[in-house]
Amino acid sequence: MALQSSGYISLNNVNVELGNSGTANINMGSAAVRGLFGVSSGAITMADGYGASSVSYWYGDRGVFAGGYAWGNSVTIEYITIATPSNATDFGDLTVGRTWIAGCSSTTRGIFGGGNVSSDTIDYITISTTSNASDFGNLTVGRDSLAACSDSITGVFGGGSSSDTLDYITIATTSNATDFGNLLSGNATLAACSNGTRGVFGGGSSNAIEYITIATTSNASDFGDLTASRDSLSACSGGARGVFGGGASSAGNADTIDYITITSTSNATDFGNLVAGRQRLAACSDDTYGVFGGGYFVVNTIEYITIATTGNATDFGDLIVSTQELAACSGG
């Protein structure tokens, strides 16, 4: 989907392209709109949006998995081409090995933050270029077991180590994180996803889902509930749909996949099942496919779903290194 290449572009068209309700309020100076129109500052005209696609501005075809536990704290970064099922390929190394980290991205830069033991480290990569990660800055509070999402401009890290902290970075500019607000409660081993406007955090110590508007610093608000309470899960998104997969439930490793419409607060709905139940995994997407990799107990499994179509996951390939408690992002 893309905006038309000529003629009149309505605000309804822009909202729909961004994955919002056509009648939603819209701020033409927001990060999401600026990202779509390719205008970082100053006035925006509708002609700037001719042919613009939320897929080209927001998603990329390369998925990157980093860090985690692989019989020790892992520095490994590896990548896949999301549209082409295959085994992962070596990318480089993190600045320091750590587990329970979180990842987010722009179309060009991948960010990995936090990790055990209560690390405040943030490092970054250029997704299209295989290499080792570089230092980015530091979180406001060192913590592990956190989650992250972005609108391609701003990255937000939430929760971790039973913290309710939300802090954010500007992805294109190396610096320390800044306070964003707070989650509704202290939470760890949760997951997050985004539609480029709204960030959603779910699971962890409960079945709760809560959300933020990424371009506006504030506390989180209630969204709804997952189909089942579980922690150590993962999440990815495509357009207006967010998908939560795996985790640990009272019954053990969960194969549950459920989904939400990010623009509409509501409870999650059953999507299907992973090939096998597992927790402590990571997920990324290219707007069409969602990919889940790694997990407990130290596995190399990668599997995928078509985000727009409910159904069970399918085998994708294998990670180079069997890893749990890792992070993922996408771009390229």
Same domain, 158 and 42: no
Mean pLDDT of 304-328: 97
Spell 218-234 as b/e; 16+ CB within 10 A means b.
eebeebbbbbbbbbbbb
Same domain, 129 and 272: yes
Spell 123-140 as b/e; 16+ CB within 10 A means b.
bbbebeebeebeebbbbb
The more confidently predicted of residues 162 and 310 is 310
Give the tens place of pLDDT for each residue, 39-98. Answer: 767 899 999 889 877 655 667 899 999 999 999 999 999 999 999 999 999 999 999 999
Residue 165: exposure state from Cβ atoms within 10 A (0-12, 13-18, ≥19): buried
Same domain, 165 and 26: no
- What is the percent of the chain with per-residue pLDDT over 90, rounded to a whole number? 79
pLDDT of amino acid 191: 98
Residues forming a β-bridge with 157: 148, 167
Across the chain, mean pLDDT equals 94
Does residue 2 lie within any of the structural domains? no
Same domain, 50 and 173: no
The more confidently predicted of residues 176 and 48 is 176
Same domain, 75 and 209: yes
Respond yes or no on whether the N-terminal peptide bond of residue 117 is cis (omega within 30° of 0).
yes
Mean pLDDT of 255-282: 97
Does residue 287 lie within any of the structural domains? yes
Does pLDDT of 332 surpass 80?
A: no
pLDDT of amino acid 1: 60
Tokens at 142, concatenated: 């060192």
pLDDT of amino acid 39: 79
Does pLDDT of 330 surpass 60?
A: yes
The more confidently predicted of residues 327 and 55 is 327
Whole-Å CA distances, 278 to 13, 127, 176, 208, 234 = 40, 27, 33, 20, 10
pLDDT of amino acid 161: 94
pLDDT of amino acid 56: 54
Same domain, 28 and 135: no
Reported as half-sphere exposure (CB side, CA atoms, 13 A), residue 331 has a value of 25
Whole-Å CA distances, 261 to 21, 74, 195, 223, 322 = 10, 34, 9, 10, 32
If one counts every other C-beta atom within 10 angstroms of the C-beta of residue 40, the result is 10
- What is the percent of the chain with per-residue pLDDT over 70, rounded to a whole number? 97
What CATH number is associated with residue 126? Answer: 2.120.10.80
What domain range includes position 236?
A: 59-331
The three-class DSSP label of residue 306 is: strand
Measured distance CA(207)–CA(229) in Å, rounded = 4
Mean pLDDT of 165-177: 97
Sign (positive or negative) of CA dihedral 221, 226, 229, 234: negative
Same domain, 17 and 103: no
pLDDT of amino acid 101: 98
Same domain, 136 and 239: yes
* Angle in degrees, CA 242, 245, 249, rounded to 5: 130
The residue out of 39, 56, 73 marking a domain boundary is 56
Measured distance CA(84)–CA(107) in Å, rounded = 18
Does residue 6 lie within any of the structural domains? no
Does residue 318 lie within any of the structural domains? yes
pLDDT of amino acid 4: 87
Task: Give the lowest-confidence range in 29-33, 94-98, 237-241.
Answer: 29-33
pLDDT of amino acid 2: 79
Domain count, the chain: 2
Does residue 136 lie within any of the structural domains? yes
pLDDT of amino acid 232: 98
If one counts every other C-beta atom within 10 angstroms of the C-beta of residue 300, the result is 17
pLDDT of amino acid 49: 87
Mean pLDDT of 104-109: 92
